[in-house]
Every structure is written in structure tokens, then in C-alpha cells.
A and B are shown apart, each in its own frame.
Chain A
Amino acid sequence: MSLHFPCPNCGADVVFRSPALPNRVCDYCRSMLVRSDSAVAKIGEVAALPFDVSPIQIGMRGRIDDKGFEVIGRVRWAWTDGAWNEWLLLFEDGGNAWLGEAMGQFMLLWQQPIGKVRSRTMREMINGKQAIPGTEVQIDNRKLVITDARDVVCIAAEGELPFTVSTGWTLYSVDLRGRGGECATLQRDDQETTFYQGHYVTLAELAPRGLRAIEGWALPAYAA
């Protein structure tokens, strides 16, 4: 079901693997492309990713909750005090999730319909209110605490994506965390609000295949 097109900018072959993911960055010329029924259009350009030593890379495969996935995209976000990666996972059943990678820890997050969020504090945040770190919020009968809230900027992206990105795109992002490793993120710009929910995972729990090789470091035993 993968669709191949020539990049309208550089002519390189670009692939779209899921109808739910009509956006991608050309691997060669970094054009931001959007696929319609039969054509691909360039709508902008995305900055090159800065060098990092992330163990994840596009093409890495893994398995969680007995479902296989492949890493097919990434957005790199920055805030005043650092930057992190959000990797897009495409599951065998066509679903997708984000693997957030910050400070050496991993969060697996699924987008949830915004209407599902009933907590009053959360609704207020969806409607434009500032979040206060330390506030407790009830989500799915679990207590989560707002751990931080800040403006984040997209600095780079690669691969296939569920939305178009542009370097400099700014969002208001609120992170929440629960007692048992649950986590959630609310992201808001002047257009819309999205809500993601999930939990912390370790790299080992993802049973990764095709981890990025990093010079001088041995791959972990579970991935070797």
C-alpha cells in the first residue's frame, strides 16, 4: 500500500506508507511535501537535523504490546533549555504513535480525541489557559501531575508525518506524569489542540531491531 512518487523539488523517490500520514520530508532536499489523491506538492522546506547521538533512527523496528512497528518519522523540538526528539511509529495495523525521547528517557504516546478529555483543568488548558506545574489532573481515573508547561519550537523534521511542519513552528506544550509511569502531553497552537496519552518505556521494552550504531559503543545485548 506504499505509494512512491518523485519529489516535486529534486526528483528523488519519496514513499508514503499510510493514508493517515500524507505529509513527509524529502530525505534528499528536505522539502516538506504533502500528498493529495494523485499528486505531491512541496509546501516548504525543513532545516537539517543537528547532529545527535540518539539510538533511534528512521527504519528501526520494534514491538510493544505484541504489535510490531517501524520508525518512519521524526520531529525535533526545542525549548529555551534544550531539545528533544519525537519519533513517529507506524504499527502493523496502520495505527501510529509517538516515541518521545528526552534526557535519555522514552515516552510512548498515542494521540487521543480531544473530546475524550473531561478534566476541568485540562478543558481550561485546551481553551487557552496557562497550565500551572504541580497541578493534579484526573485522566481515566488516574491522577497525573503537570510537570512542566512551556513554549516549544520545531527545529527540524524528517520522514513521514501526520501533519506538516515548518522550522520555527511554535506550540504551547504541557507535560503530565502519573505515579505508575503514565504520561500525557497537551499541545496547542492558535489553530488547534492535540492530546497524547501513554506511558514511559525503556528501550529494551521496545525490543528494537536496527538501532542506530554509534561509534565506540556496544549495542545493548537485547538489540545485538
Chain B
Amino acid sequence: MQPEAAIQPEPAPAAKALTCPSCGGSVALRAAGYTVHVACQYCSSILDVTDPQVKLVTTYSLHMAELEIPLGTRGVLRGVEWEAIGYLQRSENGMWAWEEYLLFNPYHGYRWLVKVRGGWSLGETLTVTPDWLSYDQLGVGPETYTHFFADGEAQVDYVLGEFYWRVAVGEKVATADWVRPGAMLSREQNAHEISWTRNALLSPAEMQKAFGIQPQAKIWPPLPHQPSPWGEWLKTGAMLGALAFAFLLVFAIFFGGTSWTAAGNFPVAADGREQSVTLGPIVLPHRYQSVHLRADVPQLENGWLDLDYSLVERTTQQVYEAYGAAERYSGSDSDGPWSEGSRKAEVSIASVPVGTYDLVVEYKANRWSGVSGYADAVSWMDPANAPVVQVEVRRGAVYASNLLIALFLIAAPLLLALIWHIAFETARKSESDFATSDEDDDE
């Protein structure tokens, strides 16, 4: 029995040779069967190859452009080998020119290699239509794109090589673009059809490896779909910084000191004279530590209490002093009742050396006679109130300012990166037709 299907044992040739009817040059057809128009590589004349009889569409005798990637060059991009078969120079009505190479692989179809301001992208025509997510956002699968360019018009300025449509110099399409970090979604529209292309940004290293393109100097302002080099760094850095600071904080709280303990209660004299008590002993075990003192005067109302603390070492008589005051006022006016101040006062003494201390508290209670000179019927210092001062003490090994210094050291590089990131994003977005003053972005 004969084989049911005639499978060709010999591989099919990859290219077909044509003769340019204009200049007689030999033109290689690399995507035979798909290609519609070929621009002769010698004279740039455009040939129609849809019929076996090659037809001359437009005669040119232009000098062949020097291409960075000569047509026929192959390179492997993201795992697939591609051959450059067509080249277009396009512009926005003569301005902001860019270049596009048409890549072909018989098993993978077509891709675009687009060069804009020195940056390269690999474009693939979509077979799905994007979804509108909001007035300025489009979704393609899991990806979200933000509107960047609107109402553009792209024209073809120069062509070389072969294309799967009737290419013509001067041909115009309406364009619009949406971006996300690393990719751009481009819409091209003419009277007959709308096509969508997803352009993935290629790194200079990828282009160098695939087509030997020398990396260019920094592109500034950044490309619309260029991810901020600080973005990822910031995310990781902020996370690590937060972790480090949380660790320091936990460390400071759990290992750095003690909790508040009552040092003593003492009464406030009704006549407001200066009083003094000695509390203690307070034992400080570490070589140096901070000592935090907190006074609470629960009956305090329309008055204040001055507190002079002295930590006196029992043997050396070394004195460490601090001053605190609690003040609290209240009343009522046309806006209703009001109050200000606090019945509590907290002070700290930094770097107190090891030792056994007495805490001497000198205090004086005062009473406020009110703005109008009208005194409350009953003063807070009245013995009927039995006013007292409660003093609590806490020692800490890590002084809060140390934590602040740590926080600053952690935050400084992040802050710097954030400034660079914002500068990058601002410059990137300044190119957009939707540039806004809002610099916060897609973090």
C-alpha cells in the first residue's frame, strides 16, 4: 500500500529568489507565501509578490540604508531564533522617528523588534482584544496597562525587505499606547482594521547577545514602559528596613529595660509651698542606662505642679537632675467645655551610670486663677481632694534617640532611592499625553 500522505523527505527550501524588475537585483523572499510586498534591498522599489509574476508597485532608486541589523540576520531572543526580514522607519508625521524590524520564523510566525530612543522592544500581535478596566486602564490576561499616548498618527518613512501586507511610504495609522512596567500595549488602526501589539522591553544585554547591538548610554527621559530601576529595590529595601526596625524595637522593648514601677506616692500641700520627698533606693545595674520618670497627679485641675528630680548616688553623691511639670486647665466658653494640658508628666535622664540611687523629688503645686481672675470655688489643692503625686520609674538600656538614629540609618538609603524613583517616574510620565502632577504610581 502506498503511503497515504506524501511527506516530503527533503526539507523545503527556506527562501525563494526574485529578480527586482526595477534594478535587476536579486531579492531573497524569506517568508514566501506570507509576504505581500517586498522593498528591494538595492533600490528600495516596492514589489508585489502575491502573483507568481512579480509586479513593480513603486519605483525608487534610493540609496540602501545602513541597517544596524542587516536583513537576513538571525538572532535568538527569549529562546526562539528569529530572522530580520523587513525594516521600517516610522515617525509621528516626521517627528520622533523610530525603527521597526519585522522578524520571522516559519514555526513561530512574526514578531516586531522596535527601537525607540535607543531602547529595544519585542512586539507580538495579539489574538485577543484587551478589556477596558477603567477610563484609562486596559487589561490583557492578568496584566493591567495604563494609558500613556493618545491620538497619535504614525507614518511610514522608509521601507526595506518584505512584509505581509501592502506597505507604502506615507502610509498612516492612528495609534494609542498603554503601558505597564516592562511592556507597552499599542493599538494601530486604519479604516479597515484595528490591531493590538504587546511590546516587551528588551534589556541591552539581551539585544547584545541576540543581535550584537552595543548597549547605549542611559536613556533619559526613560521609555514609557521602562521599569524604574529603584522600584524593586525600594520594595525589597522597605520590607527589609521595616523588619530590621521592628526587630530593633522588639529588642529594645524586651531586652532594653524594665516596665514602669511605682516609686512612691506623696501628698500635695494645700498652701502651695515647696515640698520635698526622697524615694528609693533605685538600683541601676547596667554600666549606663536611661532613667524615665513619670508623675501622675490625678486631682490636678486648673493648676500646675513643678517637679525637680535629682537622682543622687548613695556613695559618690553624684547628682543627675531633671525637671518636669504637669499642667491641666479646663473651663467652658461659647464653644462649650474645653480642657488642655495633661495630669501626667514624663521626663528622662540619659546615660546614668551603674549605682544605687535615691530619688529626691522637690515639688511645688500651683493654682491658676483663670483668665477672668475668677477663681474656682474649690481648688484642686484643697485638702478635701486629698491631692497626691504618684511617681513611677522605668529604666531603659536603649535610649529612644538610639532607635531614632537606627531608623534614620535604615531610612536614609530608602529615602534616597525613593527620591531617585520619583525623579525617574516623573521624567518617564512627563512624556505621556496623560501626564499629571500626581507622582505616586503603580507601586
A residues apposed to B, CB below 8 Å: 2, 4, 13, 15, 17, 27, 50-55, 57-59, 70-72, 78, 81-83, 85, 103-105, 133-134, 145, 147-148, 159, 177-181, 200, 203, 210-220, 223
- Which residues of chain B (17-45) have a CB below 8 Å from chain A? 30-34, 36
Stretch at the interface among B99-107, B297-305, B342-350, B393-401: B99-107
B50 touches A78 (CB 8 A): yes
Could you tell me the distance between the alpha carbons of A148 and B190 in the complex, rounded to whole angstroms?
12
B106 touches A13 (CB 8 A): no
Could you tell me the distance between the alpha carbons of A81 and B165 in the complex, rounded to whole angstroms?
6
Q: A203-B108, A217-B105 are in contact. List 15 more A-B contacts (CB 8 A).
A: A13-B2, A17-B4, A51-B13, A53-B34, A59-B4, A147-B193, A179-B128, A200-B128, A203-B107, A211-B107, A213-B8, A213-B10, A213-B11, A214-B14, A219-B107
* B52 contacts A by Cβ under 8 Å: yes
B129 touches A177 (CB 8 A): yes
A82 touches B164 (CB 8 A): yes
Could you tell me the distance between the alpha carbons of A57 and B11 in the complex, rounded to whole angstroms?
12
Contacts of B11 in A (CB 8 A): 212-215
B7 touches A181 (CB 8 A): no
Could you tell me the distance between the alpha carbons of A146 and B171 in the complex, rounded to whole angstroms?
23
**Chain A interface secondary structure, helix, strand, loop or mixed?**
loop
* Residue in A57, A71, A105, A217 whose CB lies within 8 Å of B127: A105
CB nearest neighbor in B for A159: B5
15 contacts between A and B (CB under 8 A): A50-B32, A50-B52, A53-B14, A55-B106, A59-B4, A82-B164, A105-B127, A179-B128, A179-B130, A215-B14, A217-B81, A217-B105, A218-B81, A220-B107, A223-B107
CB nearest neighbor in B for A83: B50
The 6 A-B pairs with the shortest beta carbon distances in the complex, nearest first, are A52-B33, A104-B109, A59-B5, A213-B11, A200-B127, A82-B36
B107 touches A52 (CB 8 A): no
**Chain B CB within 10 A, most for which of A51, A82, A178, A213:** A82
Could you tell me the distance between the alpha carbons of A70 and B11 in the complex, rounded to whole angstroms?
20
* Residue in B6, B12, B110 whose CB lies within 8 Å of A215: B12
B34 touches A103 (CB 8 A): yes
Contacts of A177 in B (CB 8 A): 127, 129
With A81-B36, A103-B34 in contact, do A212 and B14 touch (Cβ < 8 Å)?
no
- Write out, one digit per residue, whether chain B residues 100-129 have a CB within 8 A of any chain A CB (1) or not (0): 000011111110000000000000010111
With A148-B192, A215-B13 in contact, do A57 and B166 touch (Cβ < 8 Å)?
no
Contacts of B107 in A (CB 8 A): 55, 203, 211, 214, 217, 219-220, 223
- Which residues of chain B (306-356) have a CB below 8 Å from chain A? none
* Residue in A2, A50, A59, A213 whose CB lies within 8 Å of B6: A59
* B131 contacts A by Cβ under 8 Å: yes
Contacts of B287 in A (CB 8 A): none
CB nearest neighbor in B for A82: B36
A217 touches B5 (CB 8 A): no
CB nearest neighbor in A for B3: A59
CB A96 to nearest CB in B, in angstroms, measures 15
With A53-B32, A59-B7, A81-B165 in contact, do A103 and B14 touch (Cβ < 8 Å)?
no
B5 touches A58 (CB 8 A): yes
* B78 contacts A by Cβ under 8 Å: no
* B16 contacts A by Cβ under 8 Å: yes
- Which residues of chain B (251-296) have a CB below 8 Å from chain A? none
CB nearest neighbor in A for B7: A59
CB nearest neighbor in B for A218: B81
A54 touches B106 (CB 8 A): yes
Contacts of B50 in A (CB 8 A): 78, 81-83
B110 touches A50 (CB 8 A): no
A57 touches B108 (CB 8 A): no
B34 touches A212 (CB 8 A): no
With A214-B11, A214-B106, A217-B81 in contact, do A15 and B192 touch (Cβ < 8 Å)?
no
Contacts of A214 in B (CB 8 A): 11-14, 106-107
Contacts of A82 in B (CB 8 A): 34, 36, 50, 164-165
CB B34 to nearest CB in A, in angstroms, measures 6
CB A31 to nearest CB in B, in angstroms, measures 16
* Residue in B8, B33, B127 whose CB lies within 8 Å of A83: B33
Contacts of A50 in B (CB 8 A): 32-33, 52
B108 touches A220 (CB 8 A): yes
Contacts of B110 in A (CB 8 A): 103-104
B4 touches A15 (CB 8 A): yes
* Residue in A57, A180, A217 whose CB lies within 8 Å of B7: A57
A27 touches B129 (CB 8 A): no
Contacts of A104 in B (CB 8 A): 34, 104, 108-110, 164
A70 touches B5 (CB 8 A): yes
* Residue in B4, B8, B33, B131 whose CB lies within 8 Å of A57: B8
B14 touches A217 (CB 8 A): yes
Contacts of A70 in B (CB 8 A): 5
Contacts of A219 in B (CB 8 A): 107
CB nearest neighbor in B for A48: B52
Contacts of A215 in B (CB 8 A): 11-14
**Chain A CB within 10 A, most for which of B11, B32, B127, B166:** B127
Contacts of B129 in A (CB 8 A): 145, 177-179
CB A54 to nearest CB in B, in angstroms, measures 6
B81 touches A103 (CB 8 A): no
- Write out, one digit per residue, whether chain B residues 144-178 have a CB within 8 A of any chain A CB (1) or not (0): 00000000000000000000111000000000000
Contacts of A55 in B (CB 8 A): 106-107
CB A133 to nearest CB in B, in angstroms, measures 6
A179 touches B5 (CB 8 A): no
CB nearest neighbor in A for B81: A218
Could you tell me the distance between the alpha carbons of A148 and B164 in the complex, rounded to whole angstroms?
16
Could you tell me the distance between the alpha carbons of A129 and B90 in the complex, rounded to whole angstroms?
38
- Write out, one digit per residue, whether chain B residues 164-205 have a CB within 8 A of any chain A CB (1) or not (0): 111000000000000000000000000011100000000000
A103 touches B6 (CB 8 A): no
Contacts of A54 in B (CB 8 A): 33, 106
With A70-B5, A212-B8, A217-B105 in contact, do A51 and B128 touch (Cβ < 8 Å)?
no
